[in-house]
Amino acid sequence: MERHIVALGGGEFSTDDNTLLDDFVLSLAGRKRPRTCFLPTAQGDSPDYVVDFYEAFRERSEPSHLKLFGRPRRDIRDFLLAQDVIYVGGGNTANMLVIWHVHGVDSVLREAWEGGIVLAGISAGSICWFEAGVTDSFGEELASLRCLGFLRGSNCPHYDTESARRPTYRRLVGSGELPPGLAADDGVGLHFVGTELAEAVSSRPAGRAFRVDGDDETPLPVRYLG
């Protein structure tokens, strides 16, 4: 069973009218209208965020969402494993990972991935798949965070739009606090097949991605989807 993860650097459905990246994610499911579940955990199940998701995806898929605040549904595993795509929203990554663990969502996501369900996400939904990432979960100062570890190495989103991201990520990797990894601009997706990076794709002509290892920052080829 082919496994797919798409880690999106930024510029998602709720902030960007450009749908190229989301179209790319949906195409990996191999269905005309894939069942697509949104996990808005990192923003506390924000109702506005959920509405944005439905408005963006209802014409192209069969959207649903998983709410974990309040009283969550009892059939979480069956519900998630019935999807074709699971899309994780941005927000507070540290809080999201703790809540997932309490409800067993982290282990179900691994099961979904191993069963061929496409996993994707933006910002918090990007770094969560890696061993670690750089996050603003603890306040204004960026910090390292251990994550799910489905993919080797570390990850940094928003590489071009948040001025502190690039120098902080390079410093954390250079010091050994984070393992070497991949960084992506807003509008860029890192597409993994299995645990290997297949390609970087972009909804913007100038979108960039980098491999960061110690003091070295190596640009990666990026395919424009337009």
The reported pLDDT for the residue numbered 15 is: 65
Q: Which residue has the tokens 């994707």?
A: 120
Q: In what order do the strands lie in the sheet with 4-8?
A: 62-65, 35-39, 85-88, 118-122, 4-8, 188-193, 196-202, 222-224
Which one, of 37, 14, 34, lies nearest residue 23 by Cα? 34
Active site amino acids: 123, 158
Q: Is the predicted pLDDT of residue 77 greater than 70, yes or no? A: yes
Q: Is the predicted pLDDT of residue 133 greater than 80, yes or no? A: yes
* Predicted confidence (pLDDT) per residue in 106-129, tens digit: 999 999 999 999 999 999 999 999
Distance CA 166, CA 181 (A): 12
Q: Quickly state the pLDDT bin for 16 (edges 50, 70, 90).
A: low
Six-digit token string for 37: 């579940």
What is the SS3 assignment for 130?
A: strand
Q: Is the predicted pLDDT of residue 14 greater than 70, yes or no? A: no
The reported pLDDT for the residue numbered 103 is: 97
Which one, of 204, 198, 200, lies nearest residue 184 by Cα? 200
Would you kindly state where each structural domain of the chain is located, as residue ranges?
4-224
Distance CA 115, CA 113 (A): 5
4-224 in CATH: which number?
3.40.50.880
Q: Are strands 85-88 and 35-39 parallel, antiparallel or unpaired?
A: parallel
